[in-house]
Amino acid sequence: MSIETIADLIEAVRRETQSEAFPIDEPVYRRAGRDPIDPILFGGSLEAPVAIVGRDLGKDEVAAGQPLIGAGGRLVRLGLLAAHGEPVERSRVKDPLSLQGALAYALLTNTVPYKPPGNKAYAESVRRRFRPFLARLLTDFWRGDQIITLGTEAFQWFEPYGRPDEFSGLGRTDARFDSVFSCQIPTASGSPRHVLVHPLPHPSPLNRRWYSRFPEMLANRLADILKGP
């Protein structure tokens, strides 16, 4: 099908989902009153200079119909608001509505716009199926060029578009969290779109090594991005 609008893109994702079965946590969708084949492709602003890319959805994201609104996502939203001079009291962090203002400052999306059963990462074959749609979102509809990735899978999604030596070397070390990776994502018209990828650890509370450090790491990334060249 021809993809001219963001609605066309979402419908194309839906059709791909119907074309061949793959695991989706259907009970979570049913409890939320949502059709499991309807993608939650993105949230936030297509005009924002920053995109934040995670792995896939959790139950809170399905319930809200937005990416990055669970425990880790709230840390991201807090960081976005603070970076733009709109800090939120910690006592209000558990109220997702108190963090909706963050949607003005970033595009929020995932490598796969569905929730896997048991929160297990989707197989590479599934991410490969949905790769063209995320690439189209980032190149044809989003206007920014700075991307923060959350966790290993989201960072590795960009590997085909970067320098192989950087991703296989620096990109496999903790030094990646202080580095920026230049990537060229092909577009539907054929000319590549240049983006800069800033990897961060996943902000899940289960990520004990990095969770306590994540807010500061995100703040540093956003400060560097927003100050410009």
pLDDT tens for each residue of 69-97: 998 999 999 999 999 998 877 666 677 67
Residue 91's pLDDT is 65
Q: What percent of the chain has pLDDT over 70?
A: 97
pLDDT band at 160 (very low <50, low <70, confident <90, very high): very high
The whole-number average pLDDT for the span 209-215 is 94
The CA-atom distances, in angstroms, between 68 and each of 3, 60, 71, 103, 194 are: 26, 8, 8, 10, 25
Residue 205's pLDDT is 87
Give the start-end residues of each E strand in the chain.
42-44, 50-54, 107-110, 146-150, 181-185, 193-200
Any idea which of 86-95, 96-105, 135-144, 166-175 has the lowest mean pLDDT?
86-95
Residue 112: name the closest of 13, 5, 3 by CA: 13
Is 62 within 8 Å of 83 (Cβ atoms)?
Answer: no
CATH topology for 6-227 is Uracil-DNA Glycosylase, subunit E (3.40.470)
Give the start-end residues of each E strand in 45-166.
50-54, 107-110, 146-150
Residue 154: name the closest of 170, 136, 130, 190 by CA: 130
Residue 100, number of CB atoms within 10 A of its CB: 15
In the predicted structure, residue 188 carries a pLDDT above the cut 90: no
